[in-house]
Copies of this chain bind each other. A is one copy, B any other.
Amino acid sequence: MSRPIAILGGTGPAGMGLALRWARAGETIIIGSRSPERAQEAASKIKQRVGEANVSGAANVAACSAADLLALTVPFEGQAGLIKELKPFFKPGSILIDATVPLAAAIGGRASRTLGVWQGSAAQQTAELVPKGVKVVAAFQNCSADSMNGDDPVECDVIVCSDDPEATQLVCELAASIPGLRAIDGGKLENARIVEQLTALLIGLNIRHKGHGGIRITGLPRSAYRSVG
On chain B, the residues within 8 Å of A221 by CB distance are 209-211
On chain B, the residues within 8 Å of A204 by CB distance are 186-187, 191
| Contact among B187, B213, B218 with A208 in the assembled complex (CB-CB below 8 Å) | B187
Nearest CB of B to A154, in Å: 9
Specify which of A187, A202, A219, A223 lies most central, judged by the most chain B CB atoms within 10 Å of its CB: A219
| Contact between chains at B224 and A217 (CB < 8 Å) | no
- How many angstroms between the C-alpha atoms of A185 and B220 in the bound complex? 25
**With A195-B201, A197-B194, A198-B198 as given contacts, are A217 and B215 in contact (CB-CB < 8 Å)?**
yes
The quantity of this chain's copies bound in the complex is: 2
A155 interface residue per 8 A CB criterion: yes
On chain B, the residues within 8 Å of A216 by CB distance are 215-216, 218
Interface string of A157-193 (1 = CB under 8 A from B): 0010000000000000000000000001111000101
**With A209-B223, A209-B224 as given contacts, are A159 and B215 in contact (CB-CB < 8 Å)?**
no
On chain B, the residues within 8 Å of A147 by CB distance are 219
On chain B, the residues within 8 Å of A208 by CB distance are 185-187, 224
On chain B, the residues within 8 Å of A156 by CB distance are 218-219
| Contact among B159, B186, B205 with A184 in the assembled complex (CB-CB below 8 Å) | B205
Question: What is the interface of chain A, defined by CB distance below 8 A to chain B?
Answer: 112, 144, 147, 155-156, 159, 184-187, 191, 193-195, 197-198, 200-202, 204-206, 208-221, 223-224
